[in-house]
Structure 1
């Protein structure tokens, strides 16, 4: 076993040279260790099956540590040289991981393990490990294994290129000061007029989200949304075609009809064709609500443009906000005054601490030694014991990951290493939209899951290690706490110290229900895009996107755009973007176990923490949910919510 330590990772002193050396050394040290452990496993395998699995677990832990360094710092470090070095580490990790998966000698050692006498966790490790080897192609002939190795190495390079093109392509428009009419005062103050008399508005989230929601100038909104939907085009159009080609060949070599079939085999959904069936089912369930609410948007648009016959995605957010303000009595500009960033961040910590019995202890930067001065670090304690550390990197900067996600720094293993997770977002430093508050709660849910499930003997079960189509469910459920009047009253206050009124929160809830049908249809368009691109080969991705949009979205295509090029989930989620909605179905069902009048009920919250979150990947997701609910999950709660 590795030397026992439960101390956080020792990061370097905050200088670029120190970070460059640290990323290199950390990555290589862990890769060397993984290779040595595998060598030992092949040359002198232990006689006991359990010890074979433990030695393999140690090797997987080292590989995981190297992978975390590569994937995280390639996306967040402010120095380009460090990001590129992290990319090289990620490439080396992928190469070794592929080599191990195709190593027939290693496979023979693990396949020889007798499962008799193993406990449930160890038996699951063995079963999943052997499944991984089969899916890697270890049983194929030498020529096929060589080609699979080439494809795997090519895939990681394409993935990095795809992500880099998105990170590096921040676009902007320049508008006259009068075109900022409708924008919040604090936003306007943060966007000074340039020497040319114009104001720059970028496609980064702190600009694009409020601008498309509040700016009255229709042409300016359209111009910015068009720029946003053409990020990384045309470069990523070619990259995507190459990614899809690699995945198609990979799946075919392993005997699968499509990449979707290969990918779905290890998910709750089970098979590729079930994805298409699920997409069509949700489309049918949401159509009536979607068409009803879209008609309301179009009617409001016609008050400004009587000749309008349709409304597109460039206009929909603005008119949805007007409908909520004028017809549902919710003014988002008033709402945002109750959500200053610092108060929201602390409120989130207080809420999740109370809900899950956790304590978040601030760590001074001189101790945490993070990669940027705006990163906030906290130690996490449960029942007086430190169980993890989190880092919150929540504001945009050049070269940084452009969306919102949780990254591993370290996957926790009991008495070996402390779980450490990083939340990467791009929020405003001032006032937040309530949608951003909901997003923060959502993403923080992944971080809680990572830490609570970081106390396990087996690294493959550590953290967010469930089936990928369940991963979003715990985070989607945590969003519910960002909609509760009593919860929000604990931290949502305006500059005068006034607490957000309960009747305003209830109105916000009603207003949020507006558009949920067309939002579901939009999600099904994204899911269909994700699935179709991996099943059906097409020479023109944008043309196919237009066809799928016409079928699944209620909004028309915006001319001149190519959103597939910056749809990052086409890389990470590949053919499985359906998982967001699949997870939401389960999230709505799990939330039904909570009393809406007492969201902090310790018995229910404790059962959810212990039976779902803390289990990580130790059991199938369906079994975790059934254990918590006392029954299998159903569509009932989701269907009822959609029909409200």
Structure 2
């Protein structure tokens, strides 16, 4: 049977879209309910049939939730976003109801596991379903289950509300055109002054990042960085406080001492207490590189401010760029001339196609905005589609403000085609290389989603590994955004000349320069993520706990390389406090694994990512790490690829690599 992708509305009319979202989500939930109704009276010997019915039901439930999450974040019409938010809430309510249904739990508890003993995936699924029920609180009394249900419903609402605050609160500054000296010519051309002679600069990434990096006027840099770090404030604070308190209450009701303990019970790291241990390990390892980075930065800063004892946050981006220009011979404005968005997008497709044996064919199908491009994905040597991807890569009002891969549909063989959406906010013209790296990173998620969408169970489809592993494949793909041969294939200037190898090597050296600052900044974010949640257990026990702002300042002083900017509230738009909750450590945990996995490519590549040895490693990585999805534990997938358990060594070597300028 040939499966076809989902058909989106062909009309741009908002009511049509709203009705389509409502109708599809309702149909998916009805089908899910129908399948679940068959489970309650099933025989204990019908274990495989029960598991299949449950898996398909949760697949339909996932369709409704994914639809709501995606279009609640990307559709250009607010009324459609509201309908999508409602659809996601309804899917979450049904999921909560099932998780607390004693009849369903009893049915799974009674299943005869010996019937499926010869089927390792069915056995794995049964173990996970039973654990899901236990973690849900299904074994608690009726009053407790009712409270758990109410908490989960409210947490869904709060998560959506926080996401909306971060998405919609776009700040701006207005400055005289002459104060924007230093900005690239294409940026200035795209930002003409108004009738009053003032230019509007928003906190959206394509506006704010070039200004904080290139604007010569210190006051302008201070204004835009301050505005950026004020997004969401003060509206988000009570939303977050309620969210953290409810997560703590939920964890307590189901038998965990705090939310991080509950959250990590299904992650690679294993326990909540292991998170601060990991943060301290990375922070200690990054101490010397950070001090080296800051020493170079402060020395350069004192050329302009002789009495300075530290570099203010609002000046750090500009002066890091100065260091790269003057000491590493890397001029960010020159680098930008090689990264014109259309070339980068096509280059990404060409490169990943060559690496992983894929091809992408553009398809003319209805989408939700004219900026969105759709492609069907194929194996290079085949005609059967592996799935469909959508690239929604430019900012607009009401759209998700960061960079992420969203699911449209999970894929299961014979059931449903995997479809994923890349949602980013890049310039339509020239891109900073950092944004090129981000695009490669997010595309790694998209590849994982599509390649792992051909198994027999929804539970293991796509990015279904432990949550603290999901970033590793994306961080691995970033490596090719630094490879001279890869960049030569698409990074060309206006005259068509490819980016010189010497410049790419200088870019790599300059990137090494800042990694101590980067690692410590990441640990600051991880500390916020963990302690904002862990402290709720103390608060619940009656202890006095400082405000979110005060705790943020404390963690910034302890972990971050750069000082706090007075009067700002970064956490108010730190969207990862929603989906990642207490587990932002994931990014660095995954990076440790990613660096180790990439060592296999370094060992075989001999400097050529398209050499036969490199491509053989890429194929092995595709088939042993990406394609299996969640069918095995992440540590086992990595060990199968590397031929050994993953280790900290490659990451430690990367972090310790010399950061001394070449001049």
Indicate yes or no: 2:334 matched with 1:334. yes
Q: How does 1:278-317 map to 2 (within 5 A)?
A: 278-317=278-317
Q: d(CA) in 2 for partners of 1:397 and 1:450?
A: 25
Q: Distance in 1 between matches of 2:121 and 2:209?
A: 45
Q: Which residue of 1 aligns with 2:496?
A: 497
Secondary structure in 1 aligned to 2:526?
helix
Instruction: State the shift of 1:39 in Å.
Output: 1.2
How far is 1:518 from its partner?
1.2
Residues 1:576 and 2:589 aligned together = no
CA distance in 2, matches of 1:562, 1:86: 29
Q: 1:154 and 1:412 mapped to 2: Cα distance?
A: 30
- The structure 1 segments of at least 4 consecutive aligned residues displaced by more than 3 Å after TM superposition are 43-47
Name 2:322's counterpart in structure 1.
322
Matching residue of 2:540: none
Aligned to 1:230: 230
Preserved contact between residue 191 and residue 199 of structure 1 (Cα < 8 Å): yes
Find the aligned partners of 1:452 and 1:602 in 2 and give their Cα distance: 17
User: 1:381 aligned to 378, 382, 387, which one?
Assistant: 378
Structure 1 position 543 matched with structure 2 position 550: yes
Whole-Å Cα distance in 2 between the matches of residues 517 and 616 of structure 1?
A: 32
> For 2:76, what is the secondary structure of its paired residue?
coil
Quote the residue 1:469 is aligned against: 468
User: 2: CA distance between counterparts of 1:22 and 1:509?
Assistant: 47
| Residue of structure 2 aligned with 1:554, choices 561, 579, 594 | 561
**What is the 5 A alignment of 1:343-422?**
343-364=343-364, 368-382=365-379, 383-384=381-382, 385-422=384-421
Could you say which residue in structure 2 is the equivalent of 1:94? 92
TM-score by length of 1: 0.98
Which 5+ residue runs of structure 2 have no aligned equivalent? Answer: 537-544, 658-663
Taking the TM superposition and a 5 Å limit, the aligned residue runs for 1:143-182 are 143-182=143-182
Gaps of 5+ in 1: none
**CA distance in structure 1 between the aligned counterparts of 2:208 and 2:396, rounded to whole angstroms:** 15
* TM-superposed deviation, 1:48: 2.0
1:132 and 1:47 mapped to 2: Cα distance?
Answer: 21
Query: Does 1:608 pair with 2:605?
Result: no
Distance 2:479 2:621 in 1: 14
Q: Does the 8 Å CA contact 1:406/1:421 hold for their aligned counterparts?
A: yes
- 1:513 corresponds in structure 2 to 512
Q: 1:123 to 1:44 in 2, by over 3 A?
A: closer
Within 2, Cα distance between the matches of 1:131 and 1:74? 30
SS at match of 1:593: helix
Matches within 5 A, 1:236-247: 236-247=236-247
Distance 1:491 1:599 in 2: 14
2:542 aligns with none
1:54-113 CA distance string (max 9 Å, x none): 111110111011011110000000000000000000110110000000011111111222
Instruction: Quote how far apart the aligned CAs of 1:46 are.
Output: 8.0
Whether contact under 8 Å (1:5, 1:417) holds in the other structure is: no
1:209 is paired with a residue of what secondary structure? helix
- Does 2:578 align with 1:589? no
Matched residue of 2:527: which SS? helix
Deviation at 1:299, TM superposition (A): 1.2
**Where does 1:421-436 land on structure 2 (aligned, <5 Å)?**
421-436=420-435
Aligned length: 638
**1-side partners of 2:108 and 2:475: how far apart?**
37
Q: Are the equivalent residues in 1 in contact too, given 2:44–2:111 (CA < 8 A)?
A: no
Task: Report the more deviating stretch, 118-127 or 439-448.
Answer: 118-127
Determine whether 1:528 maps to 2:527.
Answer: yes
Q: 1:71: which partner in 2?
A: 69
Say whether the 8 Å CA contact 2:409–2:416 is kept in structure 1: yes
Contact 2:297 2:320 (C-alpha < 8 Å) held by counterparts: yes
Match of 1:263 in 2: 263
SS in 1 for 2:40: helix
Name the CA distance, whole Å, in 2 between partners of 1:496 and 1:560.
Answer: 46
SS at match of 2:129: helix
Aligned to 1:620: 633
Which deviations, in whole Å up to 9, do the C-alpha atoms of 1:208-262 show, x marking residues without a partner? 1111111111111111110100101000011000000000100011111110000
Q: Which residue of 1 aligns with 2:58?
A: 60
Distance 2:297 2:430 in 1: 27
Aligned residue in 2 for 1:640: 653
